[in-house]
Structure 1
Amino acid sequence: MTTATAFADENEEVSRLFRQGNLAKALERADAYLAKHSKDAQMRFQKGLILTEQNKVADASRVFASLAEDYPDMPEPYNNLAVLYASQGQYEKARSALEAALRTHPSYSTAHQNLGGIYATMASQAYDKALQLDKGKAVAQTRLSMIRNWGVQDHPRETQLALAVPVPPAPDPGKAADRTPARSAEKSLENTPSKTAARTPEHPAPANPFAAVKPASAPRNDSSDVLGAIDAWAKAWSSKDVEAYLGFYAGSFRPPKGVSRAAWEKGRRERIEKPKSIRLDITHVKVSSVDATHARVSFRQSYYSDIVRSTTGKTLEMVKSGDRWLIHQEQIGR
């Protein structure tokens, strides 16, 4: 087995454990690998994600800060540092980190989305302060109401930002070991230059060590096919592609509470089309009872839109139709 293949297998195993919510085991495997390959970029990145999910903010921040130093041209570590700063109410630091991410990659949509959330939260705090000083300021009251209608919560520390979560495996581990930090993470936040304009066919952008790539030779089984179906279902929902979303429900699907299929589809269409934007995060995924044509998938679902936000457990009963896994039944909670 080659070094690259061994890395891909180990990275996939850590990713699988993370998706299933087995964070302690995932961290143990990541640490064991990094003990031998301390400079590996993607495994370090995965460790940062695991620590974030465990709410070990200081440890996760050190991991992403180190990656930002080693890879100053990549936006993902800066983005995730910003998420951690915001979780602690450090919005100025979060803004600086996101601006650093956008200097390296001006079209990075996740950072743009997060920066908008940070600006809205900071504006909400400013108008709140104005009202505390003078409760009669009608303009401040109106603008604060508008901001909160956009989705900023009354408690700014609950501001929801999107983590960059790439899918492994990583590139050749030997390449990461050759990278030398050019500056400290704190200085990088202020001084990261824009590389986009200077990139030409003769000087292409560097390969992203955090890219979402799976090996073509990676083996597949029923569990990975089911997970692929869940990912595609969530992406269709997040992108407001109603037809694709409804297409993931089997003909045998029966809506809850005696609602007809036609009425259910109409209601789902309205709920998907009404918000201006939707984001769906799926974590702690567990696949069980897999046979040739049936599977049960449970997970934690976090839903964000400009209208409502919610987090809940969900269980899907899946059936295989041809070469596709479709939803036969869904239940809230697990």
Structure 2
Amino acid sequence: MTMRFSSLFGRWPAALPALLGALLTVGLPSFALADALAEAQRLMKQGQWSLAMERVDAHIRSAPRDAEGLFLKGVILSELGRPAEAIAAYTRLSEEHPELPEPYNNLAVLYAQQKQFEKARALLDMAIRAHPGFATAHENLADVYLKLASRSYEKALQLNPGSKQAKARLATISNVLAVPAGAEGKSLPAVRRDGDGAAQAGADSARSVPASGILPVTGETSGDAPPTGVAASDEASVREALLAWAAAWSQKDTRAYFELYAADFRRPGGMSRKAWEAERTQRLGRSGKETIEVDDIRVSFVDGKAIARFRQDYRSASVKSSVVKTFIFVKSGDRWLIQEERSG
């Protein structure tokens, strides 16, 4: 399941003229504040998140209630992997400006990433009440309901393993949740509104935007068409390989696990393939049940390789952990194989 963050950018300031007064606090001219935010956005697009945060924090000190500054802070904190602080920033924004739907939506995405789906559902309801025409919130709410339904069917199967109806419906929901985002358009629209407040897709809506709401850096794919040399089905194949990797680990199937790695897999510490396989065989062979789940999968293609960024949730009898990982895949025949792993 890949839920979508929303963005304030592109529809400012026509949608909310009443908020412009916030730019004039402490006597600073509005153009100076706008310049600070423009500089922050430039730094964000360059990946200079810490410097961007400094600009935004300075801006917020000058205009504590400015909605765009508070929103940018939430975006940056999300990208820096500081979800608790991002939640605090978006919560403050929703309290200062309860008429804005975007903070509720982005809070819902953050809570859903933590698997707090009931909390996410309530926030998306608030986003839709604030703006009934907010399509992104409607899509995210549908995903949350699917995830809640999936959990209920899983519980039903635990209580009644022989239920064919529960199995069939769980399989249907799992297939829907596994559909690549690109199959129905990868874009995250930067919500724009006309002078009457009616929602419309902005010019940026055809461009692919990651969860931060910021346009991708050069090299990531965007739009509806796959990059040169990449088939439309390749994104689905990469996702399938990633799910197979998690299943092989959970099932302690070392043969299936190793078959998912390319011959030139870049092993940690430069160890030999033989030593690496021995270490992983010992690791997978430990007693006790282990469950590995992958979620929030985002796939892009650069120079014929696939880059999959995802969240890995690990559970055993004594350990629970969640970490963001990036796998680089290369194509071998009709299969996508792991060439490199990165954590964080």
Judge conservation of contact 1:121–1:152 (CA < 8 Å) in 2. Answer: no
Q: Describe the shift of the 1:24–1:15 C-alpha distance in structure 2 as closer, same or farther (beyond 3 A).
A: same
Q: 1:272 to 1:213 in 2, by over 3 A?
A: closer
Residue by residue over 1:109-161, the C-alpha shift from the partner in whole angstroms, topping out at 9 and shown as x without a partner, is 111111111011101100011111111111111111111111259xxxxxxxx
Q: Tell whether 2:144 aligns with 1:118.
A: yes
Residue 101 (str. 1) matches residue 150 (str. 2): no
1:26 is the counterpart of 2:57: no
Secondary structure, counterpart of 1:81 in structure 2: helix
Determine if contact 1:82/1:98 at 8 Å carries over to the other structure.
Answer: yes
**Stretches of structure 1 lacking an aligned partner (at least 5 in a row):** 154-161, 169-200, 215-226, 250-254, 256-263, 284-295, 304-309, 315-331
Q: Distance in 2 between matches of 1:213 and 1:41?
A: 22
Q: Percent identity?
A: 35
Contact 2:307 2:326 in 1 (8 A): yes
Q: Do residues 150 (structure 1) and 176 (structure 2) align?
A: yes
**What is the match of residue 47 of structure 1?**
73
1:141 maps to 2:167? yes
Q: Number of residue pairs matched?
A: 210
**Cα 1:22–1:282, aligned 2, differ >3 Å: closer, same or farther?**
farther
User: Measured at CA, do residues 22 and 313 of structure 1 come closer, stay the same or move farther in structure 2, by a change above 3 Å?
Assistant: farther
User: TM-score w.r.t. structure 1 length?
Assistant: 0.51
Cα displacement string for residues 165-217 of structure 1 (whole angstroms, at most 9, x for unaligned residues): 8599xxxxxxxxxxxxxxxxxxxxxxxxxxxxxxxx9xx549x9xx9899xxx
The equivalent residue for 2:116 is 90
Aligned amino acid, residue 39 of structure 1: R
* Partner Cα separation in structure 1 for residue 52 and residue 298 of structure 2: 19
In the other structure, the counterpart of 1:17 is: 43
78, 90, 94: which one aligns with 1:68: 94
Runs of 4+ aligned residues of structure 1 deviating over 4 Å after TM superposition are: 162-168, 211-214, 227-233, 270-274, 279-283, 299-303, 310-314
- Quote how far apart the aligned CAs of 1:59 are: 1.3
Work out whether residues 124 and 137 of structure 2, in 8 Å CA contact, stay in contact via their aligned partners in 1: yes
Give the distance between the partners of 2:55 and 2:99, measured in 1 at CA: 28
Q: Offset of 1:21 from its aligned partner? A: 2.3
RMSD over aligned Cα, in angstroms?
Answer: 4.5
Q: Which runs of 5+ in 2 are unaligned?
A: 1-27, 180-185, 205-214, 238-295, 311-324, 330-338
Partners of 1:233 and 1:44 in 2: CA distance? 29
**1:229-282 Cα shifts (integer Å, max 9, x gaps):** 969961x32xxxx4xx67xx6xxxxx4xxxxxxxx6xx44x66999xxxx9979
Q: Are positions 1:7 and 2:7 aligned together? A: no
- Paired with 1:64 and 1:213, the residues of 2 have a C-alpha distance of 25
Cα contact 1:17–1:25 (8 A) shared by 2:
yes
Contact 2:73–2:89 under 8 Å retained in 1: yes
